[in-house]
C-alpha cells in the first residue's frame, strides 16, 4: 500500500535558555554561564528583529518561534546557524498542517517581554 506523501508546512523551533532568576537570589555567574547568557541574549535580539521583518513568523515565547516553511526557510536556517555559532541548544519540530492548538497569536501582536 502506497503512503500518501505530505509536505511539511511549519517548523517550531525552541531554544534552550540560560536560567534567569530574581537578581537578589542569583549567585555570581561562572565564566561558562556568563558566556551562555551573552550568547543567548545576542541571538535572541537578532531573531526578534528578523522575525518582525519576515511575514508569518510567530514568536510564541522569548525562545519559541512558529515558522511557515513556504517563506520562512531563511529565518529557520539563520536561527539554526546563529544557535550553532552562539552554542545555544535548540529543538525543531515540523508540522504538515497549521498547528491550531497554539492559539491565535498573530505576528503583528507585540512580542512577550
Higher pLDDT, 4 or 46: 46
CA distance 28 to 68: 40
The answer to pTM > 0.85 is: no
pLDDT tens-digit series, residues 12-32: 999 988 765 555 445 556 666
Position 99 confidence tier, pLDDT thresholds 50, 70, 90: confident
pLDDT tens-digit series, residues 33-48: 777 788 889 999 999 9
Domain residue ranges in the chain: 1-18+55-97
Alpha carbons within 13 A on the beta-carbon side of 7: 4
Amino acid at each position: 500500500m502506497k503512503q500518501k506523501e505530505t509536505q511539511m508546512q511549519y517548523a517550531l523551533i525552541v531554544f534552550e535558555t540560560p536560567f534567569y532568576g530574581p537578581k537578589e537570589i542569583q549567585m555570581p555567574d561562572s565564566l561558562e554561564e556568563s558566556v551562555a547568557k551573552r550568547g543567548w541574549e545576542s541571538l535572541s535580539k537578532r531573531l526578534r528583529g528578523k522575525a518582525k521583518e519576515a511575514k508569518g513568523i510567530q514568536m510564541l515565547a522569548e525562545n519559541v518561534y512558529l515558522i511557515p516553511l513556504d517563506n520562512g526557510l531563511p529565518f529557520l536556517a539563520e536561527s539554526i546557524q546563529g544557535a550553532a555559532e552562539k552554542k545555544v541548544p535548540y529543538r525543531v519540530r515540523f508540522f504538515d498542517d497549521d498547528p491550531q492548538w497554539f492559539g491565535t497569536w498573530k505576528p503583528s501582536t507585540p512580542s512577550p517581554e
